[in-house]
Chain A
Amino acid sequence: MDLEHSLDQDALAGVVRAIVAGRFSMERIRRREGTPLVVDPDDWAALGEAGVFSLTVAEDEGGVGLGMADAAVVFEELGRGLVPGPLVASHLAAGLTDSPLFAGAADGTTVVGAVTRPRMSDTGARVPLIVEHLASLDAMIVVGHDGLLSVLSTDDLEAEPIAHPLDPLTPLSVLTSLPEGDPVGDRDTAIRFTQGTHILTGALCAGMAAATCSMAVDYAKERQQFGRPIGSFQAVKHLCADMLVRAEVARAAVDVAAVTADQPDTGDTVRAAAGAALLAAEAAIANAKTSIQVHGGMGFTWEVPVHLYLMRARVLASSLGPLGALARTVAARY
C-alpha cells in the first residue's frame, strides 16, 4: 500500500508541467479568450504526443499501457494549468478503439467531445443541448437515455454558437438536433466511461483547487496592508488553510478512486469515483471563490485569472450532472 506518487509518476507530472508551461502558459491561452477555436491543433497534437490521450490505452492497441492512477496524475497537472479543451472526452475516446471515428484521438489528431442526451423537462420543454468546443471537434460521444454510448461525426451537426460563454476559454454551442449515431461498446463500456469521466474530471478539478489555493497564498505573502503581509492576518490565514484542506482531501479522493479503477478488488470504483468527482468539483468552485476573496479588488478584475478557474469549475461541475446525484450514488452504495 503506497499512495505517494511513484518516481515514474513524478516524472510524468514533470513532463506535463513542462508542456503546460511552454504551450499553455496563462498568457498564451488567454489570447484565445472568447474565440470559437480555443483548441489549437498543434498544441493538441503535442498533448497527444506526450501520451495525454493514449496513456491508459493498452500497448498492443498502440497506447502507453498505463493506468488511471497515472492519468489522474496527468489530469491534475492539466487542471492546475487550466488547459482548455475536451480533455476528458478525448482521453476516454482513445480507449474506445473499435470506433473508426476515434482513430486519431490517441495521438491528438482527432478532437473528440462528449455530451449527454438531455431528457425532456417535466413540462415537456426541451432542455437546451449545449456542446463545448464544437468548432474544434471531429467527433462526439453521446451518452444516451439508457446510459449506453454512441458516436457520431460532428461534420453535419446544426448548431448555434452561444455568444458569451461563461468561461471564455470554453466556447459553447446549442445543438438544434442530435442524430442517433452509431452504438459503441456495451454496458460495461458505458460504466467505465462514466467512471473515467468522474475520475478525470475530478482530477482536473483537484488540480484547479490546488492552483487557486497557491495563487491566494502567494498573493497573501506579497500584498501588504496595515504595514504587514495580509497573510499574517488570521482571517486570511484560515481561509487559506481551509483551501488547502479542500484541495488535499479532493486530491486524495481522486487518487484513490483512480487506483481503485486499476485494482478493482481493492474497493468500490463506482462509489469512489462518484465521491471523488463530487468533492473535487466542490473544492474547485469553493477554492476559486475563496481565492477571489483573498485577492480583494484585484480578484474581481478580468486581468487576474482566478475568475477563469471559477468559470471552468462551473463548466466541469455541470458536465458531471447534478452533484446531488453523485451524492446519492455514494449513499446507495454506503
Chain B
Amino acid sequence: MDLRYTAAEEQFRTELRAWLAETLPTLPEKPDTGDWAGRRAYDTGFQRLLFDAGYAGVDWPKEGGGRGSSPVEQLVYVEELERAHAPYVGVNFVGLLHAGPTIVAEGTPEQRARYLPPILRGDDVWCQGFSEPDAGSDLAALRTSAVRDGDDYIVNGSKIWTSHAEVADFCELLVRTGPAETKHKGISWLIMDMDAPGIEIRPLRTIAGATEFAELFFHDVRVPVANRVGQENDGWRVTMVTLSFERGTAFVGELLQSMELLHSLREVDDADGSPNADRIGHLGAELDALWALTRRNVSEAARTGVPGIGGSVFKLAFSELRQRIGELGMDLIGRGGLSWDELDGPAWSRSAGGPGNAELVDTWVNSFSRTIAAGTSQIQRNIVAERILGLPKG
C-alpha cells in the first residue's frame, strides 16, 4: 500500500493545476439555476476550454479521442478540478460519463467518428432516456417500443426523470424491440436526435423548485437503425456497460466538496463554542474513510482495468452521508435555513466564513435525490448483498 503518486502523476497534477489557475479567472459569471440556455453555454464553454488544453475525456481511451489516462490520473484530474472550484461537469454528464464511454466500448467506427468528437469539444449535449413511469428500479420492465420500418425504428412511448432534456441534442434511449415478456432480452440501446419530429418535452418541477428533469413523450419518432449501439435485443448488456462507468469516479467531486463544506461548518460551529464538535468529527471521519475507500477502488480499477463493484459500497455509504451533512448544515443555521434566498444575518452569513444559508438549504434539499437517482439505496443494498456477498435472489 502506498499513498504517494508517481513522478508522472505529479507532473500531470502540476500542469493541470497551473492551467486551472490561469483559466478559471477568465470564465464568465455563473448563470442562475433556472437559466438553462445560460447553463448549457457555461458548462459546454468550459468543456471546450478543457478540450483545447487536452483535458477532455481524460479517462476515455485514445481511440475514442480521449487522453487515455490511468484511473489514478483520472482521480488526480477530478481532485484538482474540485480543489480549484472549477465548474462541474453539469450538462456534459451523460455525454462524458455515460453515452460517450458506451459508444467507445460498443459503438461502430461510424458512430464513434460521428458522436464522440462533439461530446469532447462541448458541442453536443446528451441526456439519458432510461427510466419510465412504470420502469424505475425495475428498469428492464420498460415499454417504450421501437418497431422496424425499413431503415428506421418507429418509437412510441414515454420516459421520465430525464435530466437536462430541454438542452440536450441527443438521447441515449432504451427501447423495447422484442415482445414485452422478453424483459432483459428484448431491449435495444438507441441514439435519438432530440430534434426529431414527434418528441414532446414536459419539464417537471423538483422539490427544490427547479426544473432539473422532464418527461418525454414519443409519437412515431423515427430513429435510424444505424443509430443502434450493439445488436438488436442486446441493449441490456450495453446498459450494464453504461452503468458501470457511473460507479467509477462520478461522485468523487461531490465527496471532496463535502469535505470542504464540513470544514466551513466546523468554523461556523467553532464561532459558537463548538457545541457540535462530536457530530462534526464523526462526519469528518466518515468522509475521510470514504476518500480512503475511493482511492482503494481506484487502485483496484487501475489493476483490473474496469471499475469494480466497490463503487456500489461507496455510493450507498456516500449518498446517506451526504444527507447527514445536509442535516448538519440546516441544524447549524437554525432559522436561517427557513429561506431559499440568501439572508443577511449573523451565524449563517458568509461573513462568518461559512457558506451562505441558501447554499446550505440547496445542499440539504438536493441531498435527498442522492439515495434515489442512479439506483436507490434499497437497490444498492440488493446489489451489494447479491453480487458481493453472494446471497440468493429473493
- Give the interface of A toward B (CB within 8 A): 1-6, 9, 69, 217, 220-221, 228-229, 231-234, 236-238, 240-242, 244-245, 248-250, 252-253, 255-256, 258-260, 263, 266-267, 271-272, 274-276, 278-279, 324, 326-332, 334
Chain B stretch 263-311: residues in CB contact (< 8 A) with chain A: 263, 266, 274, 277-282, 284-286, 288-293, 295-296, 298-300, 302-303, 310
Total number of residue pairs linking A and B with CB closer than 8 Å: 177
Asked if A245 and B292 make an inter-chain contact with CB atoms under 8 angstroms apart, the answer reads no
Asked if B278 and A334 make an inter-chain contact with CB atoms under 8 angstroms apart, the answer reads no
Q: How far is the CA of A64 from the CA of B371 in the complex (A)?
A: 46
Say how far B137's CB is from chain A's closest CB, in angstroms: 12
Say how far B323's CB is from chain A's closest CB, in angstroms: 15
Say how far A64's CB is from chain B's closest CB, in angstroms: 16
Question: Could you write out 13 A-B pairs with CB less than 8 Å apart?
Answer: A1-B3, A6-B1, A241-B316, A241-B382, A252-B296, A253-B292, A255-B1, A263-B3, A263-B4, A278-B281, A327-B277, A327-B285, A334-B284
Q: How far is the CA of A250 from the CA of B291 in the complex (A)?
A: 12
Q: How far is the CA of A241 from the CA of B375 in the complex (A)?
A: 15
The DSSP consensus for interface residues of chain A is: helix
Asked if B3 and A249 make an inter-chain contact with CB atoms under 8 angstroms apart, the answer reads no
Asked if B2 and A2 make an inter-chain contact with CB atoms under 8 angstroms apart, the answer reads yes
Q: Mark B348-389, 1 if CB is under 8 A from A, else 0.
A: 000000000000000000000000000000101110111011
Asked if B1 and A3 make an inter-chain contact with CB atoms under 8 angstroms apart, the answer reads yes
Q: Which residue of A lies closest to B266 (CB)?
A: A334
Q: Which residues of the other chain, A, contact B150 by a CB distance below 8 angstroms?
A: none
Q: Which residues of the other chain, B, contact A9 by a CB distance below 8 angstroms?
A: 1
Q: Which residues of the other chain, A, contact B28 by a CB distance below 8 angstroms?
A: none
Say how far A144's CB is from chain B's closest CB, in angstroms: 25
Asked if A279 and B285 make an inter-chain contact with CB atoms under 8 angstroms apart, the answer reads yes
Q: Which residues of the other chain, A, contact B282 by a CB distance below 8 angstroms?
A: 278, 327, 330
Q: How far is the CA of A267 from the CA of B274 in the complex (A)?
A: 24
Q: Which residues of the other chain, B, contact A242 by a CB distance below 8 angstroms?
A: 381
Q: How far is the CA of A84 from the CA of B343 in the complex (A)?
A: 57
Asked if A229 and B392 make an inter-chain contact with CB atoms under 8 angstroms apart, the answer reads yes
Asked if B1 and A240 make an inter-chain contact with CB atoms under 8 angstroms apart, the answer reads no
Q: How far is the CA of A35 from the CA of B389 in the complex (A)?
A: 37
Say how far B272's CB is from chain A's closest CB, in angstroms: 13
Question: What are the 8 tightest A-B residue pairs by CB atom distance, in nearest-first order?
Answer: A275-B285, A327-B281, A331-B281, A253-B289, A256-B292, A330-B281, A237-B385, A252-B292
Q: Which residue of A lies closest to B291 (CB)?
A: A256
- Residue from B4, B5, B75, B381 having most chain A Cβ neighbours under 10 A: B381
- Residue from A1, A4, A231, A278 having most chain B Cβ neighbours under 10 A: A1
Q: Which residues of the other chain, B, contact A249 by a CB distance below 8 angstroms?
A: 286, 289-290, 293, 313, 317
Q: Which residues of the other chain, B, contact A278 by a CB distance below 8 angstroms?
A: 281-282, 285
Does B209 make an interface contact (CB < 8 A)? no
Asked if B285 and A1 make an inter-chain contact with CB atoms under 8 angstroms apart, the answer reads no
Q: How far is the CA of A274 from the CA of B288 in the complex (A)?
A: 11
Asked if B389 and A244 make an inter-chain contact with CB atoms under 8 angstroms apart, the answer reads yes
Known: A3-B295, A237-B382, A255-B292. A232 touches B393 (CB 8 A): yes
The residue that A241 contacts in the complex, of B274, B300, B303, B384, with Cβ under 8 A, is B384
- Residue from B263, B278, B298 having most chain A Cβ neighbours under 10 A: B278
Asked if B288 and A241 make an inter-chain contact with CB atoms under 8 angstroms apart, the answer reads no
Asked if A241 and B389 make an inter-chain contact with CB atoms under 8 angstroms apart, the answer reads yes
The residue that A326 contacts in the complex, of B281, B299, B300, with Cβ under 8 A, is B281
Say how far A5's CB is from chain B's closest CB, in angstroms: 7
Q: Which residues of the other chain, A, contact B291 by a CB distance below 8 angstroms?
A: 256
Asked if A1 and B2 make an inter-chain contact with CB atoms under 8 angstroms apart, the answer reads yes
Asked if B266 and A2 make an inter-chain contact with CB atoms under 8 angstroms apart, the answer reads no
